Amino acid sequence: MNSLYDEFRVALHSVWTRRWLVLAVAWGICILGWLAIASIPNRYDSRARLLVDINEILPDEVQGGGGRPQLDEIRETLTSARNLEKVAATTGLLPAGANERDKAGAVAMLQKNIKVIPQQDNIFEITSSVAVGSLSDADNAKLASGVLDSLITVFRDDQLRGGRMNARESLKFLDAQIADREKALREVEARRGAFEAQNIGLIPGGSGSPAQRVEAARAELSQLDSQLVSAQAQLAAANGQLASTPQSIPGVGGGVGGGVARQQLAGAQNELSSMRARGLTDAHPDVIALKSQIASLKAMADREGAGGGGGVQNPAYASLAAMRAERQATVSALSARKSQLMGDIAKITAQQIQNPGIAAEYDRINGEYTAFKAQYDKLLAQREQVRLRGDVQTETDAIKVELLDPPSKPTSPAAPNRPLFLTLVLLAGIGGGIGVAFGLSQVRTSYPTAAKLERASGLPVIGSITEVVTPDRHLDRRKKLVWLAGGGGALVGLYALLLVAEFIQRGMVA
């Protein structure tokens, strides 16, 4: 413990013997540090809160998106280069006739020092920081709030004009795109028509590609199969009921109901005409069956005309006969349609096998046409949406900007903290002086005590002679001590003077 105390006394003595060096180094560090702090301009911050209310009159698909994406766009618009250039020109950061380099520098400075922080869904806090070295503190404080005032004004004006201008520009762009798609669509239509005319007979009629028509025919054929099975079952049931029902009621006189056979004959003849109109020939099975039915109906009609029969025709039989004729016609129509579809499928398949290149080229042209048509329809729908949105922005305020908290007027700098920095520089100067003195004492080979000399040399030290201070030397030392105290006091006084000047300067800004 005694050795540690001795080491401390020795270090303190070595520093004290170099006290003028400590004072000089402290003055040098403090002067340089305080000059550096004085060269840093004070930064003043101004804050404002802005409410941006989106008037969602139209649904999302017409508005062009929900509210959140628009709020993100608004946040980016606030600090856009175009708006900040207007702010720089309004606040005087850009002089008249500034070149592009000066404009880019001013915009970059504002983008760096303006922060937009979303607090809620539609509330933003805007902060501007200004620290221009060529301006006074009062001008920097005024400029900080002026930047926010100008930014909010430019944003409001931009929202009033920008929505309508954007809608017009969007409509102009969409009209140009629609015209291009319409031109391309007509070219594809012309190529498809020319291809069909050139390969007539090799491409079946109907809309769509051959593969699409085959797929549609197969789907319809599948439905017809189930309908035909059901119709045939109903016809079989009607035949069974008709076979078990007598044609006439015996023992009853009169001629009531004598025209039923003629009515059935007229219906069968109409059905035959319909089949021939669809292109069925006399060799078709359905036509042959219907002709046989017509022959039997003619015989029945002749018997009704001659008044033959010993009774009245059974009304139930007549109703069943009419039902059977109707179901026969249904079965015949379904069978005819099935035959036609099977023929179409066989014809298209054969043409694709015989001419694969033509079918592939036709499919490609049809696919190109379908793609252009889908794009054209989509652009038309988008143009209508943009038009509606533009009408809404023209008739109403689509975006309402309200200032919740006006830009604050800063009265004290936000940075740097000069009192703290001045104090740190003073402490650094004193510590630096002490450190230099102590380091120099360690470098020089002198021995402040006999014990250190004995340890360094390895030889015993017989004795030591203390310094003899005469009265004149003592008086000289007291005079130098007064000078030393004056130099240290002057350093502390300069520090206090700088603190007072800093607080006075802040009061002048307020």
From the CB of residue 366, how many other CB atoms can be counted at a distance below 10 Å? 19
CA 196 – CA 185 distance, rounded (Å): 16
Q: Are residues 166 and 281 in the same domain?
A: no
CA distances, 357 to each of 171, 211, 346, 353, 443 (Å): 42, 13, 18, 9, 99
Q: Are residues 158 and 246 in the same domain?
A: no
CA 424 – CA 411 distance, rounded (Å): 24
Q: Are residues 234 and 339 in the same domain?
A: yes
From the CB of residue 496, how many other CB atoms can be counted at a distance below 10 Å? 11
CA distances, 239 to each of 35, 97, 268, 271 (Å): 119, 103, 16, 19
Domain assignment present for 35? yes
What pLDDT is attached to residue 35? 93
User: In a structure prediction context, what are the per-residue pLDDT tens digits for the chain, which is 510 residues long?
Assistant: 556 776 777 778 778 888 999 999 999 999 999 999 988 888 889 999 988 776 544 444 444 444 444 566 777 777 888 888 888 888 888 887 788 888 888 888 888 889 888 887 778 889 998 888 788 878 888 888 899 999 888 887 776 665 555 667 777 888 888 888 888 888 888 887 787 776 655 565 545 556 677 788 888 888 888 888 888 888 888 777 777 777 766 544 444 444 566 777 777 777 777 777 677 777 777 778 778 888 877 877 777 655 444 456 667 777 877 888 888 888 888 888 888 888 878 877 776 666 666 667 777 888 888 888 888 888 888 888 877 766 655 555 556 778 888 898 888 888 888 899 999 999 999 999 999 988 887 776 666 666 776 777 777 877 777 766 778 888 888 898 899 999 999 999 999 999 998 888 777 765
Q: Are residues 31 and 120 in the same domain?
A: no
* Sequence-distant (≥ 6) Cβ neighbours of residue 136 within 8 angstroms: none
What pLDDT is attached to residue 500? 92
Closest by Cα among 331, 329, 228 to 271: 329
Q: Are residues 395 and 484 in the same domain?
A: no
Please, where are the H alpha helices in 444-470?
450-457
Taking only the tens place, the pLDDT of each residue in 455-486 is: 777 778 777 777 667 788 888 888 988 999 99
Closest by Cα among 481, 365, 330, 408 to 149: 408
CA 73 – CA 91 distance, rounded (Å): 25
Q: Is the model's pTM score more than 0.75? A: no
Q: Are residues 132 and 225 in the same domain?
A: no
Residue range(s) defining the domain that contains residue 101: 44-177+383-405
Q: Are residues 420 and 464 in the same domain?
A: yes
Number of Cα atoms under 13 Å in the Cβ half of residue 462: 0
CA 300 – CA 239 distance, rounded (Å): 18
CA distances, 369 to each of 60, 194, 205, 217, 428 (Å): 30, 14, 17, 22, 81
* Sequence-distant (≥ 6) Cβ neighbours of residue 303 within 8 angstroms: 261, 309
Domain assignment present for 161? yes
Longest dimension (CA), the chain: 178
Which H or E run includes 400?
Answer: strand 399-405
Q: How far is CA 310 from the centre of its chain?
A: 90
Domain assignment present for 106? yes
Q: Are residues 88 and 160 in the same domain?
A: yes
Note whether 280 and 355 are within 8 A (CB): no
What pLDDT is attached to residue 487? 92
Domain assignment present for 503? yes
Number of Cα atoms under 13 Å in the Cβ half of residue 259: 3
CA 495 – CA 419 distance, rounded (Å): 10
Which residue among 346, 374, 405 closes a domain? 405
Q: Are residues 241 and 146 in the same domain?
A: no
Which H or E run includes 118?
Answer: strand 114-118
Burial 137-169 (b: 16+ CB within 10 A, else e): bebbbbbbbbbbbbbbebbbebbeeebeeebee
Q: Are residues 29 and 91 in the same domain?
A: no
Domain assignment present for 197? no
Taking only the tens place, the pLDDT of each residue in 127-149 is: 998 888 788 878 888 888 899 99
CA 63 – CA 69 distance, rounded (Å): 11
CA angle 459–444–474, rounded 5-degree value: 95
Closest by Cα among 7, 1, 27, 138 to 438: 7
Number of Cα atoms under 13 Å in the Cβ half of residue 493: 6
Domain assignment present for 266? yes
Beta-bridged to residue 53, according to DSSP, are 400
Please, where are the H alpha helices in 278-403?
285-306, 315-354, 356-395
Q: Are residues 86 and 129 in the same domain?
A: yes
Q: Both ends of the chain: CA-CA distance in Å?
A: 57
Q: Are residues 428 and 303 in the same domain?
A: no
What pLDDT is attached to residue 363? 74
Domain assignment present for 17? yes
Closest by Cα among 218, 208, 190 to 367: 208
Closest by Cα among 76, 126, 129, 82 to 107: 82
Domain assignment present for 202? no
Domain count of the fold of the chain:
3
* Sequence-distant (≥ 6) Cβ neighbours of residue 34 within 8 angstroms: 422, 425, 494, 498
The beta-carbon contacts of 31-40 under 8 Å, at least 24 apart in sequence, are 33/421, 33/425, 33/428, 33/429, 34/422, 34/425, 34/494, 34/498, 37/416, 37/418, 37/421, 37/422, 37/425, 39/133, 40/416
